[in-house]
């Protein structure tokens, strides 16, 4: 059995609403002969004459009367589905968004983001989850709306990306640390005892690459998988923690911070999302809020 031509619903709606071929033709901007041929196809598809001659006009059959409201609603629903999304009213938005981030992002930007959401869209709720890896499956399947991080070679090519801010590595020490008053040099930095940060454990990063170029090597006495743990160890000992500056601002409260004594490239923290949400008004609104908050908090 062949599938019906759903385009004919528009023609049927016009015929049933106008009650005449000529009126439907004007409404559809078709010729009367083309509209008459369309009526013949509709009669064949429905197995009903739909409109029959009564004097000089046409009257609907019982089946046509039965279909008139249903067809009209189908056409209106179809037009609404194909119409561009209306302007979003955040105050009426009731939705929960999931944002996956590396440790430090929520601590530094979360409060400001929630404040703006509360002002504009009090019925919106946020679910913050930790980013344990760079797997983009959660973005693809829709369980995560947005993600922040450094875009690497392994990122899924279809993901949309928007730069949020630039960051750089700095040295974090406890107050009163011996290195704080001696003037940090590459040699003094290398001679210290360090806490390393690696989610994979033991992997060399840009800090170690920068030191290798100088013929130096860090003495990493402990490795942790997060910024908070590294800073907690450094705050309570003479260990040296090397962390991203903007990503760990609130986590370094009460600590001394110094510039790295050798060049290490900075990096960009970006916002990522799946293209399925590209045109979604609520999603687009939230993306703008995240960008604004990150731009405001320097």
Hey, is 259 helix, strand or coil? Answer: strand
Percent of the residues in the chain that have a pLDDT greater than 90, as a whole number? 48
Query: Quick one: pLDDT at residue 258?
Result: 94
Percent of the residues in the chain that have a pLDDT greater than 70, as a whole number? 94
CA distance 31 to 11: 12
pLDDT tens digits along 107-134 = 999 999 999 999 999 999 999 998 877 7
For residue 1, name the pLDDT band (cuts at 50, 70, 90).
Answer: very low
Name the H helices within 83-168.
105, 111-120, 137-141
- Taking phi over 0 as left and psi of -120 to 50 as alpha, with beta for the rest, 247 belongs to alpha
Domains, the chain, in order of start with CATH, read: 8-82 (1.10.10.10), 90-167+268-296 (3.40.190.10), 169-265 (3.40.190.10)
Predicted confidence (pLDDT) at residue 201 exceeds the cutoff of 70: no
Instruction: Please state the separation of Cα 143 from the chain's center in Å.
Output: 11
Beta strands in the chain (DSSP E): 51-54, 57-60, 96-101, 125-130, 146-149, 160-167, 169-173, 193-197, 219-224, 240-244, 256-259, 267-273
**Hey, what are 185's tokens?**
């040099």
Mean predicted confidence (pLDDT) in 43-57: 84
Mean predicted confidence (pLDDT) in 166-193: 90
CA distance 234 to 241: 6
Predicted confidence (pLDDT) at residue 152 exceeds the cutoff of 80: no
Mean predicted confidence (pLDDT) in 93-120: 94
Give the pTM: 0.71
pLDDT tens digits along 29-44 = 889 898 889 888 888 8
Average pLDDT over all residues of the chain? 87
Query: Could you count the other beta carbons within 10 Å of the beta carbon of residue 191?
Result: 12
pLDDT tens digits along 227-242 = 999 999 999 999 999 9
Mean predicted confidence (pLDDT) in 221-230: 92
CA distance 177 to 165: 30
């Amino acid at each position: 059995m062949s599938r019906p031509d759903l385009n004919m619903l528009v023609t049927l709606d016009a015929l049933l609403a106008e009650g005449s071929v000529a009126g439907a033709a004007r409404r559809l901007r078709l010729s009367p002969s083309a509209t008459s041929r369309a009526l013949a196809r509709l009669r064949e598809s429905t197995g009903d004459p739909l409109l029959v001659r009564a004097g000089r006009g046409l009257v609907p059959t019982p089946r046509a009367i039965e279909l008139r409201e249903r067809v009209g609603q189908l056409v209106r629903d179809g037009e609404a589905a194909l119409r561009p999304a209306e302007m979003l009213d955040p105050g009426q938005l009731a939705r929960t968004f999931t944002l996956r981030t590396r440790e430090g992002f929520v601590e530094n930007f979360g409060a400001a983001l929630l404040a703006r959401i509360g002002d504009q869209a009090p019925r919106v709720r946020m679910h913050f989850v930790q980013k344990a890896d760079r797997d983009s499956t959660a973005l693809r399947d829709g369980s995560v709306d947005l993600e922040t991080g450094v875009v690497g070679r392994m990122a899924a090519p279809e993901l949309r990306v928007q730069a949020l801010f630039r960051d750089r590595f700095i040295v974090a020490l406890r107050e009163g640390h011996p290195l704080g008053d001696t003037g940090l040099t590459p040699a003094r930095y290398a001679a210290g005892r360090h806490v390393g940060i690696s989610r994979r454990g033991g992997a060399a990063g840009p800090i170690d690459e920068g030191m290798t170029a100088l013929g130096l090597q860090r003495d990493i006495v402990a490795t942790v998988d997060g910024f908070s743990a590294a800073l907690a160890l450094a705050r309570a000992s003479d260990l040296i923690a090397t962390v991203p500056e903007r990503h760990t601002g609130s986590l370094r409260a009460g600590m001394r911070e110094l510039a790295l004594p050798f060049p290490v490239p900075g990096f960009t923290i970006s916002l990522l999302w799946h293209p399925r949400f590209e045109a979604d008004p609520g999603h687009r609104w939230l993306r703008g809020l995240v960008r604004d908050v990150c731009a405001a908090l320097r």
